[in-house]
Amino acid sequence: MTETMLTIEMANTLTDWYRKNKRDLPWRNTGNPYDVWLSEIMLQQTRVEAILPRFIAFRRALPDIAALAACPEDELMKLWEGMGYYSRARNLQKCAVLVRDRYQGTLPADPLELKKLPGIGDYTAGAVAAIAYGLPVPAVDGNVLRVMARLFSIREDIRQPETRSRVSSLIAGLYERHPDLSGSWISDFTQGLMELGALVCIPNGAPLCTSCPLQLFCQANKNHETAVIPFRSKQKSRRVIPMTVLVIRAGDRFVIRRRPSDGLLAGLYEFINLDGHLAPDEVITELERQKIRVLHIRSLPSAKHIFTHREWDMTGYEIMIDPEQTIPENWQAVTEKELKSLPVPSAFDAYMNCYDLRES
């Protein structure tokens, strides 16, 4: 018989599996909603393995909401360096300020209140409410969508909000039928769905069905449909943006500038860059327009950096100028030590690494 609801037998089977097989992660079992919230924001668009050391460093530097709210912007961006989507860090701080001022420094449990805060949508509100507070609220991320789509043979596009709503309704239905479920069970079940999607019902490659606690319930497995479920429509192709990156050296200093306070990589520091792929003589001409006299120019390796909807295709040059040269007002010459301490996005890693400018 085809299942049309998430049964307590399925849910208990998954929760038992989670309790025996869950990974030891630093934000689990701390009893601190701050840890759940911070980890969920960090995990957006980022793998667990990539954020583990960053979470620990961030948490050590900013141990609570009050510390996050008071953190200087450059320090915050430096702590976030390498995780991308820097607007997440700014929203974290905006949220922390509001929580400090309105909720006595503790994240509210009510998902409706949570969704009023910057950077918190349906999923993050559900995750904090269910995992940190044990409330019967669905939390549907990509892992949960994949698990539930296969479990119930849902063929609709999982990019569509209607599909997410259907999955949320299946989870909400379980809670409605079983109102006496404990908070700790709800927390473990919620994390179990996510963990199963991360470790077994994996996003890339064939799912590990023989290791899945829900194998006997899974309709996609029974019907040999795991290769085609879930269905995910294609995203629009990325726009490729050619650019020329200039590592300008003024004696023992590097010339950089700060990006605008809004838009992509807002407020972070970058090497001077120009539109298009320019030849050496074109670079010299462009700098002369800025009244910069080039003493020497040499090629650096080309590099690419992929964002969600765009790709930077970079040509690079090292430019030597006179240390006494006047530079434009919005540029600044900094020492190697100063540059290492500033938040420079990972898009420029290829050029930072040419000079060993990342802190080890």
In order, the DSSP letters of 281-324 are HHHHHHHHHTT--EEEEEEEEEEEEE-SSEEEEEEEEEEEE-TT
253-258 and 294-306 beta bridge pairing: unpaired
Pick the catalytic residue: 3, 40, 195, 225?
40
In order, the DSSP letters of 178-243 are -TT--HHHHHHHHHHHHHHHHHTS-SSS---GGG-TTGGG-HHHHTT-TTT-SB-PPPPPPEEEEE
Residue whose entry in the numeric block shows the structure tokens 């079940």? 189
In the residue annotation, 40 being an active-site residue is answered as: yes
CA dihedral 125, 234, 149, 84 (to 10 degrees): -30
Give CA–CA dist 98/119, Å, rounded: 12
Residue count (the chain): 360
Query: What are the Cα distances from residue 33, in Å, to 57, 274, 330, 341?
Result: 18, 44, 41, 30
Give CA–CA dist 156/148, Å, rounded: 12
Residue 124 sits at φ, ψ, to 5 deg, of -65, -40
Structure tokens at 68: 């996050």
Give CA–CA dist 293/325, Å, rounded: 8
DSSP conformational letter for 130: I
Check residue 47 and give left, alpha or beta (phi > 0: left; psi -120 to 50: alpha). beta
Task: Enumerate the active-site residues.
Answer: 40
